[in-house]
Amino acid sequence: MIRLNSEEQGLLADLEVLLMEAEPSAESLPTVLGALREAMKAERALAYGVDVGPERYHASYSHFSGFPLPSATVHGVLDGSMSALGDPWGWFDPARPEPAQRNRALHFRSLAETEARHMPLPDLPAIEVGRRLGMSENELDAIRERVSARSGAVFRQLGVENMAWLRTLVCEGPALLGWVGIGREEPFNEREQRLLQALTPALQRRLTMETRLRESGLMTTALEVAMEALGRAAWVVSASGRVVHANSAGRVRLERGEPELMEQLKRGAQGIPCSGPLTLTPLRTPGLPAHYLAIDSGTASSAAARVHALSARWSLTQRESEVLTHIVQGETNKAIAARLGCAERTVEVHVTHLLSKAQVESRSALIARFFQTS
C-alpha cells in the first residue's frame, strides 16, 4: 500500500482527473506530462511507445514537455535510434520488459554518472539494483556498456545526458504500453518516486484504452466485411444507443427513419429486453466502454419472400435464386457449392450473373440492394 500525505494525495487526484476526463479519442499524455513536470519541478518530461517489429523497433507515438527542440526533431531522434536497434537495449527490453520493471517507478542516475561506472539506481548496492531491474549482478556491467554505446548519442542529441530520470514502464501483462518519465539535473527523492508509482495504475488504464482505440481503428475494415457477410441488417451501438457503425442493410433501415428501430436499439443497449426480432450481443473490450452488436434476426425470416419477389423482377433462374438465398445469409462461394452439390467455379458464374442482373458491382452491394429494394 502506497502511503501519501495530503499534499501528495491532492496532486495525485488532479493528475488522475486529467487522465480520466480527457475525451476517449484524445491523447491524454501531453497534458499529464506538462502537469507532472511542473509538479515535480522537472526540466523535461517524455512519453513514448515502442512498435516491436520482427527486425527493428519504431516509436509508435511520442509526447514531450520542456524540450527546446521541435517535437518533430525529438520524435525523429527517438525513432531513428530505435530503428537501428534489434536487440534488447537500455535498461529494459521493449519487446518484453522484465516483470520486476513493469508498472514500477524507478529512479535512474544520469548518463554521465552511469558512464563513470556508478550503479544506475542511486543509493543501492549492486545486488539490489539487479533485483529491481530483473538482472543478475554479473549482467549489470554489460548492460551499462550497452546503455553508453547505444543510448549515449541519443541523450546528447536531446541534451539530457546530465539529467537523472524517474520513469515507469507502463505495461499490460508483458506488453509495453508506454515509457513515461521526467528528467532533471537534481536527483529525485522518495516522495516523488512514490507519487509516480501511485499514478502508474491510472496511466495503465488510460494507455490501455488508447491502445484499444488505435487497434480498433485498424480493425474497421475487417468489421465492415464481417458485418456485410451477416446477410441481414446489423449495427454497432454504444451503451447510450448511439449507432457507431452499420452495414449496408442496416444503413438502409436507418435512412428510412424508423422510430421503432431506434427505440429498440436504445432500449437494448441499456439492458432493457426487446420484443421482436432484434438481438444484441455485448462487445467487451478491456479499457473501452460497453458496445453492442445488434442484428435484425427478422431479416432472415423474410428473406425467402424477398428472394421470390426479386427473382421475378430480376429474371433469375431457379439456380440463381438458390445462390442468392445463400449469399444474403452470409455464406461463401465454397459453402454454397457444398450445399448445392456443384463446383465452386459454377457458383462463381451464378454470382457473376446475379451481379449483372441486379446491376451492382460487388457482393456487398448485392446484399444492400437485396434489402433496400421494396
Residues making up the chain, counted from first to last: 374
Residue 1: which pLDDT band, with cuts at 50, 70 and 90?
very low
CA distance 16 to 5: 16
Rounded mean pLDDT, 225-247: 76
Helices (H), 256-297: 259-269
Q: Answer for the pair 279, 295: CB distance below 8 angstroms, yes or no.
A: yes
- In terms of domains, do 18 and 123 share one? yes
- In terms of domains, do 207 and 230 share one? no
- In terms of domains, do 259 and 204 share one? no
Longest alpha-carbon distance in the chain:
87
**Where is average pLDDT lowest: 149-153, 317-321, 346-350?**
149-153
318 or 29, which is more confident: 318
Looking up cell 514502464, which residue turns up?
A: 169
CA distance 46 to 66: 9
Residue 287: which pLDDT band, with cuts at 50, 70 and 90?
very low
Q: Answer for the pair 58, 79: CB distance below 8 angstroms, yes or no.
A: yes
Q: What is the pLDDT of residues 56-106, one digit of tens each?
A: 678 888 899 999 988 889 888 888 888 765 555 678 888 888 899 999 999
CATH number of residue 134's parent domain = 3.30.450.40
pLDDT of residue 106: 94
- In terms of domains, do 276 and 142 share one? no
The packing angle between helices 344-358 and 363-372, to 10°, is: 50
Q: Is 177 helix (H, G, I), strand (E, B) or coil?
A: strand
What DSSP character marks residue 185?
S
CATH number of residue 310's parent domain = 1.10.10.10
Q: What grid cell was written down for 338?
A: 457444398
Q: What is the pLDDT of residues 244-260, one digit of tens each?
A: 788 877 887 887 777 88
Is a pLDDT exceeding 50 seen at residue 30?
yes
Phi, psi of 165 (to 5 degrees): -130, 140
pLDDT of residue 68: 92
Q: Answer for the pair 298, 285: CB distance below 8 angstroms, yes or no.
A: no
Is a pLDDT exceeding 60 seen at residue 301?
no
Helices (H), the chain: 6-21, 29-40, 71-83, 111-115, 126-133, 137-146, 152-158, 190-218, 220-228, 248-255, 259-269, 298-301, 303-313, 318-327, 333-340, 344-358, 363-372
CA distance 241 to 87: 47
What DSSP character marks residue 272?
P
Q: What grid cell was written down for 49?
A: 511507445
Q: How far apart are the first and last CA of the chain?
A: 65
- In terms of domains, do 132 and 244 share one? no
The mean of the pLDDT values for the chain is: 82
pLDDT of residue 52: 73
Q: Which of 10-14, 238-242, 328-332 has the highest mean pLDDT?
A: 10-14
Domain end marker among 171, 201, 218? 218
Domain count, the chain: 3
Rounded mean pLDDT, 7-27: 77
Domain span at residue 338 reads 302-372
The residues facing 182 across adjacent strands are 45, 166
Rounded mean pLDDT, 168-178: 91
Rounded mean pLDDT, 259-264: 84
- In terms of domains, do 209 and 147 share one? yes
